[in-house]
Structure 1
């Protein structure tokens, strides 16, 4: 079975998708890397949105590149197993079976993570928050127009909604690493439970152990296409 991570800009989906893939021995697919390949841009995915944001957005003008991205990701999801996908839309587009994870992170925490993750650029904290907001608004508008769901509010498709807003209170590398180290075992345990298709009691137990990090448990995951029954925990 595959796993699809989603979240807004700098929520931590790339970090935790990579960590989980390594821990599980799964392959890893980055939607950003696929998009850069489609656009023909030779730049590292981690630096792309900082260094060449305007160029990328200009190259994405219209829907052709984004439609091609969706097509390629769906094709990969259909042809591969034991793969972790780092993407915005695949959790909504892909059919079952797939584990769908959303990482919730408020604007202030995402700005701090954005600031810490810079390598060559030197955006200020307000600059990071503005970049995240602009990028997310563009992605939201595209997905709402093309796919009919709202990236900012729609969570009913996800099997699990995790939160790390409280885990990185200051914009420094030590704090960021502590936040990652705190959330990573939660991600691992919860996703492993979902991959093993447990009784809901196991997910309830994890939610009781990690009440600040597990904020919603959604649909059951099965080896067959599921119905739309869901259970929310908040």
Structure 2
């Protein structure tokens, strides 16, 4: 079975998708890398949104590149097993069986993660927050127009909704590394639980152990997830 990660900008989906793929011995597919291939842009995926943001958004304006991205990801998901996908829409558009995972992360924590993740650029914390907002709004509008779901509020499709907002309290690498180290085992255990289809008692146990991190597991809501602004969903 495959696993599809999703989340807003700088939620940590790329970091944890890569970690999980390595831990499980799965292949890894990055939607950003596929998009850059479609757009024929020679830039590393980790630097693309910092260095070529305006160029990428302009090239995606008519939706054709996004439609091609969805087509390629669906084709890959249908032809592969044991693959972790780092993507926006695949969790919504792919048919079963697939484990669908959303990482919930509030705006302040995502701005901090964006700041820490920079390699060549040096955006300020407010600039990182603005970049996350702009990118998320663009992606939300595109997915709502093309696929009919709201990236900020719709969580019904996900088997797992996990939260890491509280794990990176300051914008420095040491704190980020501690947050990643704390969150990675939660991701691993929750995904393994769904891959192995355990007794419901095991899902209850995981929810109790990781009360702050597990919002939903196995399509059971344990508390109110939040929208893109960190507010409780109605």
TM-score by length of 2: 0.94
Cα shift at 1:217: 2.1
Q: Distance in 2 between matches of 1:200 and 1:63?
A: 41
Structure 1: gaps (5+ residues): 220-230
Aligned pairs for 1:42-53 (under 5 A) are 42-53=42-53
User: Match of 2:100, SS?
Assistant: strand
Cα shift at 1:198: 1.1
Please name the residue that 2:134 is paired with.
134
Q: Distance in 2 between matches of 1:232 and 1:107?
A: 22
Please name the residue that 2:65 is paired with.
65
Q: Distance in 1 between matches of 2:91 and 2:200?
A: 21
Aligned pairs for 1:203-218 (under 5 A) are 203-218=203-218
Please name the residue that 1:106 is paired with.
106
Please name the residue that 1:74 is paired with.
74
List 4+ stretches of structure 1 deviating above 2 A: none
Q: Distance in 1 between matches of 2:54 and 2:138?
A: 12
| Residue deviations 1:97-133 (CA, integer Å, cap 9, x gap) | 0000000000000000000000111100000000000
Aligned pairs for 1:1-234 (under 5 A) are 1-219=1-219, 231-234=220-223
Q: Do 2:162 and 2:216's aligned partners in 1 also have CA atoms closer than 8 Å?
A: yes
User: Match of 1:137, SS?
Assistant: helix
User: Match of 1:5, SS?
Assistant: strand
Cα root mean square deviation, aligned: 0.6
| Residue deviations 1:70-121 (CA, integer Å, cap 9, x gap) | 0000000000000000000000000000000000000000000000000111
Structure 2: gaps (5+ residues): 224-234
User: Match of 1:166, SS?
Assistant: helix
Matched pairs, number: 223
Q: Distance in 1 between matches of 2:74 and 2:200?
A: 28
Q: Distance in 2 between matches of 1:200 and 1:154?
A: 24
Q: Distance in 1 between matches of 2:63 and 2:118?
A: 28
User: Match of 1:161, SS?
Assistant: strand
Q: Distance in 2 between matches of 1:65 and 1:36?
A: 10
Q: Do 2:164 and 2:213's aligned partners in 1 also have CA atoms closer than 8 Å?
A: yes
Q: Distance in 2 between matches of 1:232 and 1:175?
A: 29
User: Match of 1:11, SS?
Assistant: coil
Q: Distance in 1 between matches of 2:199 and 2:89?
A: 27
Cα shift at 1:218: 4.0
Please name the residue that 1:227 is paired with.
none
